[in-house]
Amino acid sequence: MRNLDIRARVLLAALLPAAVIAVLLASFFVSARFGDLDTALHEQERARARQIAVASEYGVFSGNQQVLQSLADTALAEANTVGVIITGTDGKLLAHSSQRSDILSFLPQSARAGEYWTEIGSLLLYSAPIHAPFLALEDDSLDQGKKLTQERGKVLLAMDRGPLMKKKADLLVTGLGMALLVLAIAGILAMRLSRRVSKPIEDLERAVGRISQGDFQVQVGTEVGGSLARLAESLNRMVAQLALNQEEMHRRIGEATEELRVRKDDAERANVAKSRFLAAASHDLRQPMHALGLFVGQLQQQTVLPEARRLVEQIAESVKALGGLLDGLLDISKLDAGVLTPEKTPFAAAQMLARLESDFSGAAAAKNLFLRIRPSPLWVHTDPVLLERILLNLVANAVRYTEKGGILVACRRRGNRVRIEVRDTGIGIPREAFDSIFQEFVQLRNPGRNRSQGLGLGLAIVKRLATLLDLRLELLSELGKGSIFAVEAPLALPTDAAQAKSSRLLPNLALDGKIVVVVDDDELVLESVASLLESWGCLVLPAAGGKQAEERVRRIGLIPDALLCDFRLQDGEKGTDVARTLRREFGEDIPAILISGDTDPEVLRMAREAGLALLHKPLSSAKLRTLLHRMLGK
CA dist 129 and 136 (Å) reads 21
| pLDDT for the residue 578 | 92
Question: What residues does each domain of the chain span?
Answer: 6-169, 292-306+508-632, 341-500
| pLDDT for the residue 564 | 92
What's the pLDDT tens digit per position in 11-27? 666 667 767 777 777 77
Q: What is the DSSP letter of 426?
A: S
| pLDDT for the residue 6 | 61
> If you classify domain 6-169 with CATH, what class do you get?
alpha beta
CB 471, CB 398: distance < 8 Å: no
Strand arrangement of the beta sheet that strand 93-98 belongs to: 93-98, 81-88, 147-160, 123-135, 116-120
What's the pLDDT tens digit per position in 320-340? 656 655 555 555 555 555 556
| pLDDT for the residue 197 | 63
pTM: 0.40
For 197, other C-beta atoms within 10 Å of its C-beta total 19
> If you classify domain 292-306+508-632 with CATH, what class do you get?
alpha beta
CA dist 12 and 187 (Å) reads 9
Dihedral over Cα of 54, 57, 58, 64: its sign: positive
CA dist 34 and 26 (Å) reads 12
Write out the DSSP string of 323-388.
HHHHHHHHHHHHHHHT------EEEEHHHHHHHHHHHHHHHHHHTT-EEEE-----EEEE-HHHHH
Q: What residues in the chain have per-residue pLDDT under 50?
A: 135-138, 140-148, 446-454, 496-509, 634
In a 13 Å sphere around the CA of 567, the CA atoms on its Cβ side amount to 27
| Per-position b or e across 122-140, b if 16+ CB within 10 A of its CB | ebbbbbbbbeeeeeeeeee
- DSSP lists the bridge partners of residue 132 as 150
CA dist 71 and 69 (Å) reads 5
| DSSP-based three-state secondary structure for 99 | coil
The one-letter code for the residue type at 216 is: F
| pLDDT for the residue 532 | 83
Reference 616, options 296, 392, 326; nearest CA is: 326
CA dist 67 and 85 (Å) reads 13
For the chain, state the CA radius of gyration.
61
CA dist 573 and 553 (Å) reads 19
Reference 562, options 589, 527, 526; nearest CA is: 589
For 583, other C-beta atoms within 10 Å of its C-beta total 18
| pLDDT for the residue 75 | 81
| pLDDT for the residue 377 | 86
> If you classify domain 341-500 with CATH, what class do you get?
alpha beta
